[in-house]
Amino acid sequence: MENFSPTQSEYNEQVINLEDLQDDTVLPQELINLLNKQSFNGTLNEENDENERNSNQIGSSLENNSCNVSETSSDSLNCDTNNNLATIKSNTTSISSLTSGNTNQENETIVHDEESYDQFEADLKPKNESTIKRTHLINLIYELYDLGNQNVAPENKNEVFRVPRILVESFMEKLPPGKNLKNSILLTWKKRFFRLNSIGELHVFDIDSKTGAFKERPDEIYNLMGGKAEFDQNKIISLDDGRGSYMVFRCCAGVEDSDQLFSKWKQEIEQQIVDRSECLWVQPNQPLTLNQGHVTKDRNVLIIDIGTCSIRAGLFDQEPKLPKLFVPTVCSKDPNQNRLKVGFDAFDFLLGSSAPSTIDLRKSISSWCLTSSNGQLIFPLKNRNGIEKLNVEVESIESIISYVVDNLNINSENTEILIITSHKLTDRLNTQYLNYLLSGESYNFKSATLINQSLMSLYSYNANIGIIANLGEKIDVIPICNGMPFQNGVSNLAYGGSCMSEFLNFYISRGHVSYVNDIEQFFVRYIKEKSCYTALNYQEELTKYPNDSKKFKLEMTGRANELKKLEFPESARFRAVEGLFNPEIWGLDGQGLHKLIYKAIQSSSMDLRREMARNIYLCGGMSQIPGLKERLELELKKLLPVTIKVKVNRSEYSYHSAYLGAFKFIQQPEYEKILITRDEWCQEKSNCLKKWRCI
């Protein structure tokens, strides 16, 4: 087990603790200021015996120096600083020698010239400069939330994926489900109507016994993408969709041109069994694929995705767009106006006239900014003080909604609202939010819907069955089939990206820069997103970097390019990520991500496990880490039988998958079933919440 807790023995600078001085000791202010500069991150651990001895020596020396100072007249101590500069420098040098463990008189050097004095001050500073301008800090946060060119439309999707067209259709004969040519002695062929469309869906319609016409809705639907097909010389077609479904059908007996019909079916099926599922995923600036049951009418819907770290918001469109509003999930209290500021506005105190021109990252920023006079930062969905239970700041969430409505100029009376939440909320919280949205006291939306992030992510992949691994500040693994989760396979972990950041921060702190408070965590997040990757073979990768000798230099880009290079061990780039598979590296006792997904697969019924294994979908910020998809497939193949195909899917836009999935969901009949209208809420109140208990 790797231990990433920093030990004081790793620090190569000693600290002078002013608390060791006698109460009646009088020292010049310049000496006190200089002593303070020797501490870069607090006092050393008192349990360290060697440092205790050094501290005693320092204290003894300071007492002697104090006596020398006190022998002089009080007038000389209060006179011009230049008169005592030589004495102060002499005392400082003596103390520095004791701190370094050099107690021999021959090694002590008296500093008398100004140049050497300045050099001594420079040596006390950390190797990496950590004092930055406040505008640089804000620029780095803007860089994290800059969508750049991602809203540029990618290569146009083929029109067949926009509106699926019929490739071939005819009456055919099929065997009952579960029957095939090898295990059936008596072949009972049933006449059905078959239709194959351009997105690989084979629809089978039952036939009305009275009229002989096929019914309006299909009785069975098979997805052929990624499946297998066999063609018999007797014009029999055997299909295996690779998800546990198997079907055999043939051309009807006595049909004219049966050879030509069989050739047509064979040609189209061979094209459709090629796996092109990525073409069906929801992408920005691409028309939605209109599957069975789509509602194509235009709607005025405000979509708000409130995640642990980020807020995404925008209006529904037939062509999905990346969020128009993309800001951090952070609020700050404005004491002058008694209201909350949201997003980038929450950092106004860093740019105000009262803010310092520079911020020393070795000292807690909170000592200045998190006060009643300057404002208090609030992270409404982050766990605090080690508490794993979800804490929701209701006032903050309401302020977030108001912030979005104001910035997008929304008229609530003719707008529906869909709010995506990172966790399932209690009935009490749902009631509070619906009162806020529908009662008319604050807003008067036409309808409101609150829905889970993971379910929306599944819609972004145009799938109705699969396992969603939501990898953000927290980790959620949820197996879903037709909108219903398998509760036995659900895993909700209160850690994830937060633990990765702590581990990475430990390695960064070896360079004498430690990011300890909430604002500084944006630096760690930036470093994590720009440098971390997943090792396909962890032990083999470790051998490439013995003793952490090789260093990695991170170049800041975009708005953050004004910050200086940051240097830390190269191995930290993949060690921090390895905790996803081996949580003991993070100091946690739990199962790795691959085992949580395996648990989700096993929780489903036997006939669904094959389909679950090939429909694993990644979403969230950590899903963008290079190599994660490939490593996850390797680990799952070790756990599952070789006959089961494992496929982990990750969209280019998995960072925004829940938001993009909402565009797909709004056009589904399920959306109409669960939305709560303004009139329904006024009449039934909390009784309306039963609509949401099935999702």
Q: What is the pLDDT at residue 109?
A: 38
Taking the mean position of all CA atoms in its chain, how far away is CA 315? 23
Q: 530: which DSSP letter?
A: H
What are all long-range contacts of 683-692, with beta carbons under 8 Å and residues at least 24 apart? 685/431, 686/427, 686/431, 688/434, 689/427, 689/430, 689/431, 692/430, 692/450, 692/451
pLDDT at 183: 56
What would the mean pLDDT of 387-409 be, rounded to a whole number? 82
At residue 181, the pLDDT reads 61
Residues 6+ apart with CB under 8 A from 227: 239, 240, 241, 242, 243, 273
Q: Is residue 85 predicted with pLDDT exceeding 60?
A: no
Q: Could you give the 3-state DSSP secondary structure of residue 331?
A: strand
Choice between 392 and 150, residue whose per-residue pLDDT is larger:
392
Pair 237, 222: CB distance under 8 Å: no
55, pLDDT greater than 60: no
Residue 483 pLDDT more than 60?
Answer: yes
- Give me the DSSP letters along 504-522: HHHHHHTTT----STTTHH
Residue 334 one-letter amino acid: D
Tokens of 533: 């990757």
3 state SS for 554-573: ECCCHHHHHCCCEEEECCHH
pLDDT tier at 622, thresholds 50, 70, 90: very high
Q: What pLDDT shows up at residue 318?
A: 84
d(CA 294, CA 609): 28
Average pLDDT (395-411) is 93
Task: Return the CATH fold of 491-655.
Answer: Actin; Chain A, domain 4 (3.90.640)
Residue (of 349, 379, 352) closest to 365 by Cα position: 349
- Residues 436-448: what's their mean pLDDT? 91
Least trusted range by pLDDT, from 76-80, 145-149, 155-159, 503-507: 76-80
- The number of beta carbons lying within 10 Å of the beta carbon of residue 186 is 5
- How far is the CA of 353 from the CAs of 132, 135, 183, 475, 519, in angstroms? 17, 12, 82, 40, 19
Q: What is the pLDDT of residue 185?
A: 52
**pLDDT > 70: what percent of the chain?**
66
Q: Are 656 and 428 in contact (CB under 8 A)?
A: no
What's the pLDDT at 7?
40
Instruction: State mean pLDDT over 580-608.
Output: 93
* Direct distance between the N- and C-terminal alpha carbons of the chain, in angstroms, rounded to an integer: 40
The larger pLDDT score, comparing residue 183 to residue 382, is at 382
pLDDT of 48 over the 70 cut: no
Average pLDDT, stretch 583-587? Answer: 91
- Residue 279 confidence class, pLDDT cut points 50, 70, 90: confident
Sequence ranges of the domains in the chain: 8-125, 159-280, 301-329+379-461+657-692, 491-655
Of residues 313 and 158, more confidence is placed in 313
- The residue whose two tokens read 């820069």 is 513
Average pLDDT over residues 400-409: 94
Can you tell me the mean pLDDT for 325-350? 82
Question: Strand (E) positions, 531-637?
Answer: 551-554, 566-569, 616-619
| Burial of 695 per CB tally in 10 Å (0-12, 13-18, 19+) | middle
Mean of the pLDDT values across residues 458-480? 92
Residue that the structure tokens 């420098």 belong to:
89
pLDDT at 646: 94
DSSP string, 33-94: HHHHHT-SSSPPPTT-HHHHHHHHHHHHHHHHHHHHHHHS-HHHHHS-HHHHHHHHHHHHHH
Say which range, 312-321, 365-374, 479-488, 642-651, has the weakest mean pLDDT.
365-374
As a whole number, mean pLDDT of residues 638-648 equals 93
Decide if 398 contacts 429 (C-beta within 8 A).
Answer: no
Residue 378 pLDDT grade (very low, low, confident, very high; cuts 50, 70, 90): confident
pLDDT at site 668: 87
Q: Look up the pTM and report it.
A: 0.73
What is the pLDDT, as a whole number, of residue 385? Answer: 53
CB-based contacts of 34, cutoff 8 Å, min separation 6:
88, 92, 121
Residue 433 CA to residue 624 CA, distance in Å, equals: 32
Helix-strand-coil split of the chain, %, nearest 5: 40, 20, 40
Per-residue pLDDT tens over the stretch 33-47: 444 444 433 444 444
Place of tokens 């090629």: 274
pLDDT at 31: 45
Confidence of residue 413 (pLDDT cuts 50, 70, 90): very high
238 pairs with which residues across the strands?
Answer: 230, 248
How confident is the model over 537-548, as a mean pLDDT?
86
DSSP assignment of 443-483 equals ---SEEEEEEHHHHHHHHTT-SEEEEEEESSSEEEEEEETT
pLDDT, mean of residues 433-458: 91
What's the full length of the chain, in residues?
A: 695
Tens digits of residue pLDDT in 239-251: 988 766 788 999 8
Check residue 102 and give its pLDDT: 44
Which residue in this structure is represented by tokens 């008067």? 444
> In CATH, which of 3.40.50.1220, 3.30.1330.20, 3.30.420.40, 3.40.109.10 is domain 301-329+379-461+657-692?
3.30.420.40
Beta strands in 335-373 (DSSP E): 339-342, 358-360
Mind listing the pLDDT tens digit for each residue in 113-171? 444 434 434 443 434 444 455 667 778 888 889 887 555 545 555 554 556 789 999 99
| Alpha-carbon span 601 to 607, nearest angstrom | 11
pLDDT band, very low/low/confident/very high, at 202 (cuts 50, 70, 90): very high
What local confidence, expressed as pLDDT, does residue 3 receive? 45
> Which comes out higher in pLDDT, residue 600 or 114?
600
The stretch 410-428 carries a mean pLDDT of 90
Average pLDDT, the chain: 76
One CATH from 3.90.1070.10, 3.90.870.40, 3.10.150.10, 2.30.29.30 for 159-280: 2.30.29.30
For residue 532, how many C-alpha atoms fall within 13 Å in the half-sphere facing its CB? 29
Percent of the chain at pLDDT > 90 equals 34
C-alpha 429/C-alpha 434 separation (Å) is 9
Equal CATH topology for 159-280 and 301-329+379-461+657-692: no
Structure tokens at 403: 């912030």
